[in-house]
Structure 1
Amino acid sequence: MAENDKLSEKDIALDLLSSSKASIGTLAKALTETTNPELRKTLKNQLTACINSHHRLSDIAVSKGWYNAYGNPQQQLQSELGEISSVTQ
């Protein structure tokens, strides 16, 4: 594998964030659709753990400058377009 083909820590962190968001959505949906009290408790605990993990990962990504959660939307869009341009060149 060439040096340029390796995933960076940023790539991994952002992929984990994306996956975490999907898991949170899936767990939330499942939680709202179940009526079994034991299953609801299990799903609720899992959802809470997933949200807490997502929060910690988000904090890391923000602190390292990999995810600009607080910038205005125009700045975020320009940053993303700049990254896309560098990848396609």
Structure 2
Amino acid sequence: MIGTWEEVETGVRRKIHPPGKNMMMMEVQFEEGAVGAAHSHPHEQYTYCLKGKLQFTLGDKNIVLTQGESLFIPSGVVHGVVALESSTLLDAFTPLREDLL
């Protein structure tokens, strides 16, 4: 739901910001140890770490992201994340994630 915090997995909650015509973003908060399950989608994604430390799996690579760092996730690439400490991400997607709106 747009503009409302919702729990999406154990220890993971998100808030979807009002979208534009072709782009959208959402905030995602993780408790330490929380897991964002591996998935893929046809959208391009940028994720920016507002707070904390997370380990991403991006295809066959493992990448640690800390406060102030960003990561580009190409269309169709399987990715997941584990929060190494309490963390917050800001995700941007294009085109719109109709599955989330």
TM-score by length of 2: 0.21
More strand by percentage: 2
Question: Which has the larger share of helix?
Answer: 1
TM-score (norm 1): 0.23
